[in-house]
Amino acid sequence: MAQPKTVTPADRGDDPLLVDDERLDFEVNDQPRRARAAGERLADADYAVARSKASLDLMKAELMVDIRGNPAAYDLSDAKAPPMDIVEATVVIQLKYQQALLQFHNAEHERDVARVEWEALRMRKGMLERRIELHVTNYHSEPRTPEARTAAARTNRQGIDR
């Protein structure tokens, strides 16, 4: 059976998910650092979404108060109190609100991208564990005949019994 191609740093490029099978010890030791960095990016993105949502809510509240207090400035009828659905619709079409909404959507997108990276690193951890199991079981060795397998198992048992 042919050995898998070794992944070099040049092959890896910008893909942090590729693993160098010849350096599993390095890959395993580097995994927590990668996970921590991805976790921090996810936490920062969650924080940015919360800040952006608060800013959006504040912008909406300020616009609603201003529209209710001065409907003529927003080309609403001279009625003292415009209906709530008209006020809410007027808020949504304001440029300031649209800009705050765009910031909120951008923050959500960044959070989603960070979450994808976090999940990919969790999958990478599982992949590393499976590759180590394959390495420990000598998966990439030359195939053995049934007799050779029996002899190897007997030798391993003798080493354990000592």
Q: H/E/C letters for each residue in 61-117?
A: HHHHHHHHHCHHHHCCCCCCCCCHHHHHHHHHCCHHHHHHHHHHHHHHHHHHHHHHH
Amino acid (one-letter) located at 29: N
Query: Could you give the C-alpha distances from 161 to 58, 95, 138, 153, 156, in angstroms and in order?
Result: 73, 79, 21, 12, 9
The confidence score (pLDDT) of residue 104 equals 97
Give domain status of residue 15, yes or no.
no
Dihedral angle over CA of 27, 30, 32, 37, nearest 10: -120
pTM: 0.71
The number of folded domains in the chain is 1
Residue 36 has pLDDT above 60, yes or no: yes
Give domain status of residue 34, yes or no.
yes
Give domain status of residue 146, yes or no.
no
The confidence score (pLDDT) of residue 1 equals 44
The confidence score (pLDDT) of residue 18 equals 83
Distance of CA 4 to the CA centre of its chain: 28
Domain range for 34 is: 21-141
Distance of CA 79 to the CA centre of its chain: 50
Give domain status of residue 151, yes or no.
no
Q: How confident is the model at residue 141 (pLDDT cuts 50, 70, 90)?
A: confident
Give domain status of residue 120, yes or no.
yes
Residues shown for the chain: 162
Residue 23 has pLDDT above 80, yes or no: yes
Q: What is the pLDDT of residues 95-137, one digit of tens each?
A: 999 999 999 999 999 999 999 999 999 999 999 999 888 888 8
Give domain status of residue 153, yes or no.
no
Give the C-alpha separation, 49 to 4, whole Å. 42
Q: How confident is the model at residue 149 (pLDDT cuts 50, 70, 90)?
A: confident
Extract the tokens encoding 66: 């201003």
Give domain status of residue 13, yes or no.
no
Give domain status of residue 66, yes or no.
yes
